[in-house]
Amino acid sequence: MSETSIIQRQVTVTCENGLHLSPISQLVRRAVGFASTISLSFDGRRADVKSAFDLMLLAAPAGAVLDLETSGADAHQAADAICQLFQSGFPLPGNGT
């Protein structure tokens, strides 16, 4: 029996410059590894986290609270992975993190 889960959480943009290219590319790289649908919503706009273009259109500034929704067989794992990126502040490789 295969069940599809829908997970909803909130995440806060902690990057000083908001959701810009570096965190967006990290989000996309992490999201494409999951089968689930992953979306972020902000200020009436919804973005597919597997699309850098969609994420840029969110224009989420520092401090913005985003609604995260994952749906699919690995929804829990996908939500955990995306939340972890936001909680860690999107560390850059090689910065001792």
Please state, for a pLDDT cut of 90, what percent of the chain lies above it.
Answer: 86
Q: pLDDT tens digit string along 60-76?
A: 999 999 999 999 999 99
Q: Roughly what angle, to the nearest 10 degrees, separates helices 21-31 and 75-88?
A: 160
CA distance 69 to 49: 10
**Average pLDDT of the chain to the nearest whole number:** 92
In the chain the domains, ranked by start, together with CATH numbers, are 17-88 (3.30.1340.10)
Question: Where is average pLDDT lowest: 15-19, 46-50, 76-80?
Answer: 15-19
pLDDT at res. 75 = 97
